[in-house]
Amino acid sequence: MKRNRQSKALNLSTSRWLAYAAAGAATSLGGAQSAEAEIHYSGLINAKFNNASQEGGTRNFPLRHSARIHFSKNFYQRNFLIDGAAVSNRFCGYQTEPGGSFYVSRLAQGDVISNCAFVSSDRRGVLFQSYGGTGQFFEPGIGFIPFRFNNGAGMQYGWARIKRLHTPDSFLLVDYAWGDPGDRIKAGQTRSAGDQVEAVPDQGSLGMLALGGAGLMAWRRRRAGRPIKTA
């Protein structure tokens, strides 16, 4: 009986140490992923575009290397373009008719940029036409332009936040951001921290242990047969 008790205690201790080791490895791995991933944020810009010549013409905003965000105007039409990247430059958009102009898609906060339908052409896209009221950015309010570019290291996704003003032909470029090659980024996201949890399995002991100390507490409660508290 004594030997069985010692054997059981040894097995339990070993299993716990394995769990702790798994938790430590998962936490270290998550930290490494967070350190490698980076979102490059412009900070608040609030660049205004209107009918005044000094504020309403062509303007560029830098991305990585020679890639850039490009805004231009053609009469009553406001245009958007990603250009300068070595391999490819694309924005998310659509055509109203075959062979017609490409329009820029308007995303909401939290939408995943890579899930969007990117145009197959590197032509400029129409944000809106103030004469006739066409384009998803015609209506006042906040919207996000989704874009991607490739300088040779892989696809990089980003967004530009546009605030359409009530005055005709006027809007603000509030800010913009983009991720490193292969990063998953959402509209409005300015930091990488906090998104790594989405990649962690949420079922089983290892999935919970990967969350760190909170996962260990939940694992102990499960072992003891007590309910796991949730926020």
Per-residue pLDDT tens for 152-188?
Answer: 999 999 999 999 998 878 999 999 999 999 899 999 9
Percentage of residues of the chain with pLDDT beyond 90:
50
User: Which residue in 67, 229, 231 sits closest to 160, CA to CA?
Assistant: 67
Task: Report the amino acid identity of residue 89.
Answer: N
- Tokens standing for residue 145: 């332009």
User: Which residue in 154, 153, 136 sits closest to 145, CA to CA?
Assistant: 136
pLDDT at site 221: 52
Q: Are 137 and 143 in contact (CB under 8 A)?
A: yes
Residue corresponding to tokens 């490895």: 25
pTM of the model: 0.68
Report the distance separating Cα 96 and Cα 185, nearest Å: 27
- Tokens standing for residue 191: 């930091």
Q: In this predicted model, what pLDDT tens digit does every residue of 52-92 receive, in sequence order?
A: 644 557 899 999 899 999 999 888 889 999 999 999 999 99
Q: Are 200 and 207 in contact (CB under 8 A)?
A: yes
Q: Sheet containing 93-95: give its strands across.
A: 59-62, 68-74, 77-83, 125-129, 102-104, 93-95
β-pairing, 68-74 vs 59-62, is: antiparallel
Decide: residue 7, CB within 10 A, 0-12 exposed, 13-18 middle, 19+ buried: exposed
